[in-house]
Amino acid sequence: MTNSTLNIALQNSSNTNTVYAYITGQALDNNNALVILEADGQTPYYPTSPSSNGSALAVNCSIPLGASGSTVNVTIPRIAGGRIWFCMNDELTFLLNPGPGLVEPSVSNPSDPNYNKTWGFCEFTFNDTQLFANISYVDFVSIPIALTLTNTSGATQHVSGIPANGLQTICDGLVAQNNTDGAGWNQLIVNDSSGQPLRALSPNTGHVLNSSLFAGYYDSYVNAAWSQYTNQTLSVDTQAAWGVLTGNVVNGLLVFPGVGTFSPPQHLRHLLLLDRSLRRLPHQHGRNGRHHRSARRCLKPQHPPFFLCAAVNKRSSIL
């Protein structure tokens, strides 16, 4: 069993002397209550439910990291769904809704008070058995964040963030791709007031800001995949009790006998290689039953090895 708390060293390796960190999540040893670490990096703050939406936090939760090269040690309780947030040259604004529910910074809401700030986060869960952590480039890319874990035996694991010029490299690539096909890739770049990149959005997040972005971009590809499985069988190896599931397109629906039917993706979000996008794959329910529901779940993106969407996303499927 793990200790009830975890020590984390937050290091400012940036070129700015003003960086603030924030740690949020659900306290596993306190009935999964919302917890935010206070500015001292040691005291857990458990907000109470406010009377109205958009209420301010009752305490200061901005942890100053100090000058470039400095390290600040913090201590957290066991947390699920945890995030460590970093903001450069400014502080982030977190708000509370009744519940309490935490209103987190948003990259898809231009009216959010943090929208024009330079920030990012990594994710973790620290429970009674182990620590899970990742640098989480799902919805956007911004500042470089790296993770290093040293276990009780002294072994170390390290995951590097993007290079110092990584954001600019990504933005240059988006501009180049847009110059090639004119699809709007450059619209995924969010610049600051001086015209410098703040972040690069995922296509799914970009679509939230502009619902016409990439309209019809994958239509021909989807049609080709659906056409192929009209005449060929799609096999999905669940690598579990359900074995290999097979299906074909019948009357425009991808049918897995005894499991369910799936309509062709009609929206950009269903086609992107992002797990949050893939969760929205449209489907029609087949017969009831625990085995059916479990087998069907294997075809959904909560189980990455079994993505049904891979039939469309994997280029080899229609070559």
Write the pLDDT tens digit of every residue in 123-178: 999 999 999 999 978 899 999 999 999 988 899 999 998 999 999 999 999 999 99
Neighbours of 101 (CB within 10 A): 14
Q: Which of 77-86, 98-107, 146-155, 229-238 has the lowest mean pLDDT?
A: 229-238
Q: Which of 73-82, 108-117, 307-316 has the lowest mean pLDDT?
A: 307-316
Q: What is the mean pLDDT of residues 67-85?
A: 97
The β-bridge partners of 204 are none
Report the percentage of the chain scoring pLDDT > 90.
64
Length, in residues, of the chain: 319
pLDDT band at 45 (very low <50, low <70, confident <90, very high): very high
Q: pTM (2 decimals)?
A: 0.81
The tens digit of pLDDT for each residue in 294-311 reads 555 555 543 333 345 555
Q: Which domains does the chain have, with CATH numbers?
A: 5-159 (2.60.110.10), 166-209 (no CATH), 219-318 (no CATH)
Q: Which of 116-130, 172-186, 283-297 has the lowest mean pLDDT?
A: 283-297
Give which of 301, 293, 286, 299 is closest to 250, Cα–Cα.
286
pLDDT at 315: 47
Task: Give yes or no for a contact between 296 and 260, defined as CB atoms under 8 angstroms apart.
Answer: yes
Strand segments, DSSP code E, in 41-174 are 44-45, 55-56, 63-64, 71-77, 79-88, 95-97, 101-103, 118-126, 131-134, 140-141, 147-150, 156-159
Distance CA 72, CA 17 (A): 13
Q: What is the mean pLDDT of residues 239-267?
A: 83
Task: Give yes or no for a contact between 94 and 103, defined as CB atoms under 8 angstroms apart.
Answer: yes
The larger pLDDT score, comparing residue 120 to residue 220, is at 120
Question: Any idea which residue has 């290689």 for tokens?
Answer: 273
The residues near 295 (Cβ < 8 Å, ≥ 6 apart) are 238, 242, 245, 258, 259
Q: DSSP letter for 89, please.
A: S
36: which 2 tokens? Answer: 């935010």
Q: Which of 18-22, 221-225, 263-267, 270-274 has the highest mean pLDDT?
A: 18-22
Q: What is the mean pLDDT of residues 235-259?
A: 85
